[in-house]
Structure 1
Amino acid sequence: MDHPTDPPEVVEALATLDDTIARILDTPPWAQQILTAAAGHLRTEDPFLALTDGDLTATLDMVTELITGHLPLAVAEQAMQRAAAVLPKRHYRETCDTYALRLLKAARNV
């Protein structure tokens, strides 16, 4: 008994769905992207300067806007809250570069 084959539109839709699901599964969470981008910024701007609370806040605000600016506000806020929950505590006179390395380690746990 022959089985009917799917029409070409269905085959194409299923292939597109498979691609979309694969892309979603391969994309890191928004919070992880925020932390990784912040670490990259800290390592390239002034890696040997002591990191201040103001520098860290400004960096996180900037990368959060760049990464989540196109998302609904609730999604962006949740991503930032998840990122903030795993931020390592700054050490006294810690350089931006050293903190960035610890930030990357924290990003892996999101």
Structure 2
Amino acid sequence: MDALDLQLQRLLTEPSWAQQILTATAGQLRIQDPFLVLTDGDLTATLDMVTELITGHLPLAVAEQAMQRAAAVLPERHYRETCDTYALRLLKAARNV
């Protein structure tokens, strides 16, 4: 395999930036306090922190597109849903990005 084939193979097997954002956000929600009832503020803060960690080194246009793709598949929160339960649904949504 030449260098171009190896790079293409890597691109096809690595998760997208949006998928990485969603997966890492789910992981963070499960670590923080899995039994805490998730609020919009908690979700936004966690999502913002994870997005900055994952995309902070990328060009702004790429980072914004990744966040838009991630936001487009965010599941709607259920009433009194825990961080852990939401995180599981978030992981499922990440598979489709």
| Normalised-by-shorter TM-score class | over 0.9
Instruction: Count how many residue pairs are aligned between Structure 1 and Structure 2.
Output: 97
TM-score (norm 1): 0.85
Counterpart position of 2:29 = 42
Rounded to whole Å, the distance in 2 between the matches of 1:17 and 1:106 is 31
Q: 5+ residue gaps in structure 1?
A: 1-13
**Percent of residue pairs bearing the same amino acid type:** 82
Aligned positions of 1:1-110 closer than 5 A? 15-110=2-97
Distance 2:89 2:81 in 1: 11
Give the drift of 1:97. 0.1
RMSD: 0.9
CA distance in 1, matches of 2:64, 2:3: 30
Give runs of ≥4 in structure 1 deviating > 2 Å.
none
Unaligned runs of 5+ in 2: none
What TM-score do the two structures reach when normalised by structure 2?
0.96
Which protein is bigger by CA-based radius of gyration?
1
Instruction: Between the two structures, name the one with larger relative contact order (CA 8 Å, sep ≥ 6).
Output: 2
Report the Cα offset of residue 16 of structure 1.
Answer: 1.7
Residue type of the alignment partner of 2:20: Q
Tell me by how many angstroms 1:20 deviates: 1.1
